[in-house]
Amino acid sequence: MPYQFEIVVPPSKKKERLDVFLANHVENATRTKVQRGIQEGSVLVDGNRVRPSHTVSPGEVISVTLQKDPPQEALAENIPLDIVHEDDSLLVVNKPAGMVTHPAYGNYTGTLVNALLYHCNSLSNSPDPTRPGIIHRLDKDTSGLMVVAKTDAAHARLAKQFAVRTISREYWAIVWGKIKQSRGVIQASLGRSRSDRKKMAVVPEGKNAITEYAVLRSFDYLSLVKLRLQTGRTHQIRVHLAHFHHPVFGDPTYNGRSIIYGSGSNAQRMEVRRLLQKISRQALHAKTIGFIHPSTGEKMSFDSVLPSDMIDVLETLQK
């Protein structure tokens, strides 16, 4: 089934070949795949067919039609899991940073689902054969707690709790800067970035998104905050914090690896570089999760310790 979208070349864009531009801005795209699509007419610039070597100009509208790959069935793999809780209906697992939740283009193996299939005799069914048991997701480089369904009944009841927002989740993040207000709410609509399809952005036509935050501790140029989601949009915390001018420390996608706050002295820059060497991803962890057990009706709550890379950064800041 074809999937269509448009990219508007941003005003500040410097000269670049169309195939290079798309390879850098379309998720899971390669230059070879992009060139083939351009030559087949799946890419139009202002409604016209062009060559892969076409130089993009600010304001041009690039229309892309993609043929989605058919879903592939996930296979069991012997991958260690950090299981916090398990019973006949569900599991609560602590996903490490760097692990993709379920197989997708470019990541067909080594995912949480592959590990779950090896560990469990059964998982709940899903319309997508690559997502058995999966009710919600965490980004590849976000660590933390996830609940997984073993039965269809558990899946349906837990999914309903997510839908009506009675699932309790708390995230901890290390962010850039000292936040003036100790607690508050960020509300801004989110959607795909029109200039870079690999990113999400605050856009007027996007879906409503609300994030609550509270500052736990402030350092010279970084802060430790806890966050609760009233909605569950893709990259919500990361985009909201970047929009709030306090991006998640270490986030390579949303400006978290640039020095944003601080004195700017050589000593501080060296310190920041050392801290960034300690963490190669966004310093974001899904610390707690709470829900009503789908079979027993018992209220359940789970907490997890911060991963070692975030602890290392915090211990360095405390010194």
Active site residue 139: yes
Q: Same topology for domains 2-67 and 83-164, yes or no?
A: no
pLDDT digit string, tens, across residues 46-84:
999 999 999 999 989 999 887 665 556 788 999 999 999
% of the chain exceeding 90 in pLDDT: 71
Which CATH number, 3.40.50.1100, 3.30.930.10, 3.30.2350.10, 3.40.50.720, labels domain 171-284? 3.30.2350.10
The matching CATH number, chosen from 3.10.290.10, 3.30.470.10, 1.20.1560.10, 3.90.550.10, for 2-67 is 3.10.290.10
Active-site residue (options: 19, 139, 141, 309): 139
Cβ-contact 245, 105 below 8 angstroms: no
Average pLDDT value over all residues in the chain: 91
Overall average pLDDT of the 174-193 stretch: 94
Is the pLDDT score of 289 beyond 90?
yes
pLDDT of 242 strictly over 90: yes
Q: Domain map of the chain by residue range?
A: 2-67, 83-164, 171-284
Class of domain 83-164: alpha beta
pLDDT at 147 over 60: yes
pLDDT over 60 at 278, yes or no: yes
What average pLDDT score do residues 292-309 get? 97
Task: State residue 263's pLDDT score.
Answer: 65
- Higher pLDDT pick, 278 / 264: 278
